[in-house]
Amino acid sequence: MNLKEKEIKQELKRFTGDAPLLYLKHVKNGKWAQDLYNGMLFMNIVKFFRELEEKTGKRGQGDRHELL
């Protein structure tokens, strides 16, 4: 484990204490699941989903009050 990984783990522990962390991500493609398993995580920022809703008019792409 390198110094950066140790710093990240220490910061997470400071923030969450001993509570377990769980991250759930749904993917449509098996390769994407394998990439995620290998630590190659990709996420769009919340702003992306808000703008997507505004452009398409399709609700359910984000939460107006998410991460405020």
Q: Which of 37, 42, 36, 63 is nearest to 52 (CA)?
A: 63
Q: Is residue 61 part of a domain?
A: yes
Question: What pLDDT score was predicted for residue 63?
Answer: 55
Centre a 10 Å sphere on the Cβ of residue 16 and count the other Cβ atoms it contains: 10
Q: Is residue 2 part of a domain?
A: no
The residues, ordered by sequence, that sit 6+ positions from 44 with a Cβ below 8 Å of its Cβ are: none
Q: Is residue 3 part of a domain?
A: no
Q: Is residue 68 part of a domain?
A: yes
Cβ atoms 53, 61 nearer than 8 A: yes
The tally of domains found in the chain comes to: 1
Structure tokens at 19: 């509570």
pTM of the model: 0.37
Q: Is residue 9 part of a domain?
A: no
pLDDT tens readout for residues 19-54:
877 777 777 888 888 888 888 877 788 788 888 888
Q: Tell me the pLDDT band of 66, cut-offs 50, 70 and 90.
A: low
Kindly tell me if the per-residue pLDDT of 60 is higher than 80: no
Write out the residue range of the structural domain in which residue 28 sits: 20-68
